[in-house]
Amino acid sequence: MQDLIPSLVRKSDSKIVLVVLDGLGGVRTSSRGTELSEANTPNLDRMAAEGMSGVHTVVGPAITPGSGAGHMALFGYDPVKYLLGRGALSAAGVAFDLRAGDVAARVNFCTLDKDGRVIDRRAGRIPTEENIRLCKILRESVKMEGDVEFFLETERDHRGLLVLRGMGLSADLKDTDPGVIGITPNPPIARSNEAAGTAIIVERFLDQVRLILAEEQANFMLLRGFDTLRPIEPFALRYLLRARGTASYPMYRGLSKIVGMDVPPETAGWEETVEDLKASWDDYDYFFLHQKPTDSAGEDGDYERKIAAIEQVDRTIPEILALNPGVVCVTGDHSTPAAFMRHSWHPVPFLMWGENVGVDLVDRFDEEAARLGGFGHQYAKDLMAFMLAATMRLGTYGA
């Protein structure tokens, strides 16, 4: 099916808007509903009543997806075939010139206790200015052996980018981030013989980081998503769409760049993202709008803050619909329940609204209602086909 869709694509004047509330999905507990079910969302509820809903699985049953996999799937790329590491995404997000053979990894500045156990995977979400200071210290202090260079760049808040450059490097390494607190970071482990030397280089790099940052609140770093430069079929050629990706967070601008979307400068927040949509409406066929705070709140276990982030998007829905798009899809790239404080495997609700979408019996937007919607249970990678069909951009298959 993934190979079939591009062969059926044709031009249309009808426009597509994909609204992604990062980590939107939640889970009901014995004491409370999901964040989406408890949020006051009259505009999203109206869209659900006038359109069709469903839930999607990002990768496969019971598999917890990362944000890269989630977004690639929503863009219509099979996330198993087009697996992108966080490192490559971060590199694109900060406009780093990643070259063939480079090894890139996402950095999380973290806090270790006196016994070397992780007590905060995000170092209290240090401000970006502190991140810049720490990166400068490390760039000036860490010494590499041989002909290997390293580059350390600030992304935002506690996140950054590490790139290794030299001959014979491999990105086939496991994450050093254990994903939980209370235990020591994982050592760099090679997944293949070819990566054994790179694992040693990373280990020696991290040993120096631990010593240099010993007196800082952010006294260590966790590495995730080792990757290298890899080709991706351009979005514009795949779907015949002039596409724009607008986000306030570097990684998601990076994702948009990797698939070939036009990307404006970083927006300050959701309202500015919507303003960019309105300002660029006449110049594009497809718009990807990303909102990060839903995910950040879920990871922090902040139930009320995640609800507030959902309601923030809801308040701007009339501005989006006033542009008369052919279809609007509202969903998340994965679930991040505040009860879990991390990504989860739970299916993600979605709705589609537009003249050609159709109407089901659902009259509100939340996980339980979406499961009863007309789209049923889909894979995230197939939502792009529904958006194309709803804008009359797919021709007939066969005679």
Percentage, residues of the chain above pLDDT 90: 88
**Cβ neighbours around 76 below 10 Å, total:** 22
- How does pLDDT run across 195-214, given as a tens digit for each residue? 999 999 999 999 999 999 99
Tell me what the mean pLDDT of segment 27-40 comes to: 96
**Cβ neighbours around 109 below 10 Å, total:** 29
Between helices 42-50 and 303-321, what is the axis angle to 10°? 60
Pairing of strands 16-21, 220-227: unpaired
H or E stretch at 304: helix 303-321
Please say if the pLDDT value at position 158 is more than 70.
yes
- 271: pLDDT confidence band, cut at 50, 70 and 90? very high
The residue ranges of every structural domain in the chain are 4-82+232-390, 90-227
Q: Provide the CA 55 distance to its chain's centre, in angstroms.
A: 18
From the options 3.30.200.20, 3.20.10.10, 3.40.720.10, 3.40.50.10070, give the CATH code of 4-82+232-390.
3.40.720.10
pLDDT at 196: 97
pLDDT at 1: 65
- 2: pLDDT confidence band, cut at 50, 70 and 90? low
pTM of the model: 0.83
- How does pLDDT run across 336-385, given as a tens digit for each residue? 999 999 999 999 999 999 999 999 999 999 999 999 999 999 999 999 99
Quote the mean pLDDT of the chain.
95
